Amino acid sequence: MSGPSAPFDGRRFRDVLGHYPTGVVVVTGICDTGEPTGMVVGSFSSVSLDPPLVSFLPSRTSSTFARLRTASSFCVNVLAADQEHVCRQFAAKSGDKFAGIPWRPGPSGAPLLEEAVAWIDCEFEAVHEAGDHLMVLGRVRDLGVLEPRSPLLFFQGGYGGFSPGALVAPYESDLLGHIRVADIAREHMEAVSADLGLECYAQCVVADEIVIVAGSAGSQKSTVHGHIGRRMPFAPPYGALFVAGREDGAIDAWLARRNLPLTGEDRNHYRRALQRASSRGWSIALRAPEHDEVWDEIDGFSTAQRTPGLERRVGALLERLKEHYEPDDLDPAGLHDVRLLGAPVYGPHGDVVQVLALFQMPPRASVERIAGWRDRLVRAADTVTAAIGGRPPKTR
C-alpha cells in the first residue's frame, strides 16, 4: 500500500510546461447584450477534420468567458508577432478591449479583427469540464487568412515571434554597412589605442541588439578582439547614445526592451540619463561590482539561443547597473572608476550609426584624466563621421 502522495508543485508544473511554446489568439463574440467581447487564449488547438472542430480552454472562473458563452458564435483571431499590444489590451481586466482595434463582423457576426493573421468562425459545439478549466469545442463554419506573417507566440512567460533558420541571413546582411563603417574607423581606433594605451571598439545596433563589429588593442594583453561579434541587448541602460535626442517612439521602444515592469520612476530615471547623454554628446559608465557578472551573462546572450527566460535574467542584471550609466557630473575632487566611455559616429541624416567605446581604463582616475580620454575619443569619432559623409545634429 503506497503512502500519501506529496503535494503537487503547481509552480514547477507551470515552469516545465512553459518550455512548450503556444500560439496566442483572441476569441471574440457578441454577447447577449449586443456588445462585443473578447478574451486572450493560449490553449487554442485544432481537434478534428471531419467534422471540423477546434477547441480552447478558458478558466472556469473567467468572467469574460461567462459573457462570451452567451453569444451564439465565436471567432478565433490568430494574432501576429507584432500584436503583443493587442494581446495585452484584451487581457486587461477593465477598459474597452476593442478601443483602437479595427474589426468587422465575421460570417457569423462575431468580431473579426482586421489586422490578425487568420480567423476561424465557429459555433459552440460543446463545453466540458476539465479540472479548473473548461474545454470548449467549436464547429468551424468558415475561416480564412488575412495576411500570412509570423504569429505571436507565448514561451517561458514571455511573448515573441517565430524565426526560421532561413531568415537568419538578413541579420548578417544588415551588418555589412556597419562593417564598412568600422573599416573606415579602424585606423582611427588604432590611433586612439596607441595614444592612450586603452582598448577601443566600435558597436552598432542591429534589430534589438548591440553588436561589437571591430576593435583595437591597447596592449599585447588586450582581449578586445575576442569581443568582436559579441551581442548585447539594446535595452536600458545599454545604448543610450543610439537613443538620446530621438523621438518619443524610439525612446519608448528602447524602454520596453527592459523586460521588467517599468514604473514612472524608472521611466523618469532613464529619460534624465538620455538627456545627459544628449547634452554632453558622449557617454560614460562607472564600474559596478555587478559588471563582471553581467559580462559573463552577456557571453551566454551572444552564443545561446534567445529565450524569454534568458532575456529576463539579463534584464534583471542590467537593472542593477542603471545608477552607474550616464551619472550626474563627477566630483572634480574625487577619483573615479570608469567602466566605459562612448562617442557617437553620425550618419548622413544626423543619426548615430556607430559608437566608439573606450574600455579597460585604469581605476581611480581624476576628472582631468577622464576628460583627456573622452576628448581623444570624441575627436576620433568626429573624424570618422566626416570620413563617411555624416553630420552631427544641429543641437550638438
Calculate mean pLDDT across residues 300-309: 60
Residue 258 has pLDDT above 90, yes or no: no
Beta pairing partners, 276: none
Confidence (pLDDT) at 305: 56
Confidence at residue 307, expressed as pLDDT on a 0 to 100 scale: 64
Per the model's pLDDT, the better-predicted residue between 204 and 261 turns out to be 204
DSSP string, 120-172: EEEEEEEEEEETTEEEEEEEEEEEEES---PBPEEETTEEE----GGGSHHHH
Query: If one looks up domain 16-162 in CATH, what number appears?
Result: 2.30.110.10
pLDDT digits (tens, 9 = 90+) for 361-394: 999 999 999 999 999 999 999 999 999 999 998 7
Domains 16-162 and 167-387 share a fold: no
C-alpha cell at 220: 599585447
Q: DSSP of 1-44, one letter per residue?
A: ---PPPPP-HHHHHHHHTTS-EE-EEEEEE-TTS-EEEEEES--
Q: State how beta strands 36-41 and 111-113 pair.
A: unpaired
Arithmetic mean of pLDDT over the chain: 87
Structure confidence by residue, pLDDT tens digits, 15-51: 787 777 888 999 999 999 999 999 999 999 999 999 9
Looking at the DSSP assignment, which residues form a beta bridge with residue 142? 121
How is domain 167-387 classified at the architecture level of CATH?
2-Layer Sandwich (3.30)
pTM of this structure: 0.60
Per-domain residue ranges for the chain? 16-162, 167-387
Q: Residue 91: name the closest of 126, 120, 62 by CA.
A: 62
